[in-house]
Amino acid sequence: DQQVKQNSPSLSVQEGRISILNCDYTNSMFDYFLWYKKYPAEGPTFLISISSIKDKNEDGRFTVFLNKSAKHLSLHIVPSQPGDSAVYFCAASRMEYGNKLVFGAGTILRVKS
């Protein structure tokens, strides 16, 4: 039972354009959501997060949108840069479980120059 789903295994975007990565979840008890970025042979690196009391959080080129009714969140990267090429993981948690994270399977982003 996959509680967090990233349905696009890969995405290819031209440098300078917008990258949109999507994530769906099934457990309505999740109240905190995170995006991580991962390069080969490295651990995941935290990018941006959003709590369920908000519908948008922005940090530089990265914006996360949360639609609670649809149980959907997305990560927007504008403008995309070649260095953004990596695997992006969506993760969700319930606070009372000590921040245990439930991850999606990841989306490979390739930004072409």
Q: Binding residues for another protein, per CB under 8 A?
A: 4, 6, 32, 34, 36, 41-46, 49, 51, 89, 91, 95, 97-106
Nearer to another protein, 50 or 77 (CB): 50
Nearest distance, CB of residue 16 and another protein, angstroms: 28
Shortest Cβ 68–another protein spacing (Å): 16
Q: Which is nearer to another protein, 14 or 39 (CB)?
A: 39
CB of 106 to another protein, least distance (A): 5
What is the residue-wise DSSP string for 1-56?
A: --SEE---SEEEEETTS-EEEEEEE--TT--EEEEEEE-TTS--EEEEEEETT-SE
Nearer to another protein, 85 or 93 (CB): 93
Contact 105, 7 (CB under 8 A): no
Residue found by looking up tokens 């989306």 in the block: 107
Per-residue tokens: 67: 């639609």
